[in-house]
Amino acid sequence: MQGTLFLVNPQAGSGRAGRIWDELRAAMPQIAAADAIVAADPEAAGQELDRRLEGPVERVISIGGDGSIHLAVNRLLRSGRHNDIPLGLVPAGTGSDLARTLGLPRDPRQALDRALTAVPRPIDVIEVETDAGDRRYVLNVASAGISGRVDELVNAQPKRSATAFLTATLRALGSYRPFACRVEADGEPWYEGGVFVLAVANGRSFGKGMRIAPRAEVDDGLADVVLVRPMPRWQIPLRMPRVYLGTHLDQPMVAWRRARRVRLEAAAPFPPFDVDGEVMPSGSATFTVLAGALRFLG
């Protein structure tokens, strides 16, 4: 385990990540002696990770959800060590949508074995930069619209059930109003009008299994851009099953294409961006694919 740094959010998945960490340490004595950051507070975890990345770290393995690996990706890229330190994941979060795209084992021991033995492979990262100067790096999906409000509702729950994202989505529908914007893709005008949700996707699903971008690939140098237009409110619950099945791309209220760079210009305020299940300040922004920017173990 020399050179391996574990990043553990013990509260991820309503405490599931903490239980998995304890089980792995009990089953594998070498894990018990490994270097680890165990912290539920993202700011404290991030600061400690920054400090450790200044030392002789050879790989980072996250035990947690999409938010945990989002933190690791951002700290790795900001440190400049994303080229020489690969990242692995033992999924243990509420959504764990990135793990679905990557086909990671659901069994924690098998997922850890893969992270410890896999040859690192390059995968893409999406950079989100707002006109106000906020910047995030996204490994799975960045989206604008109702998804940010859903994230707020889910993240406010101290205990999250298996239906947390679905329940939050249904609650958000009661107050959400589509926002007006213009969207450019690779420098070309693509859409202008109201938006229910706009997803710039590296991975295929968000919101615990909603297959918003079923054709996305994490290593093709392109984002799958999926836009859902406004529709009568009563139609939304009827159409949601198509998103879970990934059969919505041919529907009249959906626009879809691939692009390396997406520009969103908003005409009015809207909910925060959803970035890997976390939130960031929204507004006019640019989404850029950084091809092969991260080395992944799995």
CA distance 196 to 146: 6
CA distance 244 to 207: 10
pLDDT by residue (tens digit) across 46-70? 999 999 999 999 999 999 989 999 9
Model confidence at 155: pLDDT above 80: no
- The percentage of residues in the chain with a pLDDT greater than 90, rounded to a whole number, is 76
Q: Are residues 105 and 174 in the same domain?
A: no
Where does residue 133 fall: left (phi above 0), alpha (psi -120 to 50 degrees), or beta otherwise?
left
Q: Are residues 49 and 137 in the same domain?
A: no
Q: What's this model's pTM, rounded to 2 decimal places?
A: 0.92
3-state secondary structure of 121: strand
Q: Are residues 164 and 245 in the same domain?
A: yes
Q: Are residues 182 and 111 in the same domain?
A: no
pLDDT by residue (tens digit) across 109-140? 999 999 999 999 999 999 999 999 999 999 99
**Range(s) of the domain holding residue 150:** 126-292
Query: Is 297 part of a structural domain of the chain?
Result: no
Query: Is 298 part of a structural domain of the chain?
Result: no
Quick one: which of 2, 1, 21 has its CA closest to 10?
21
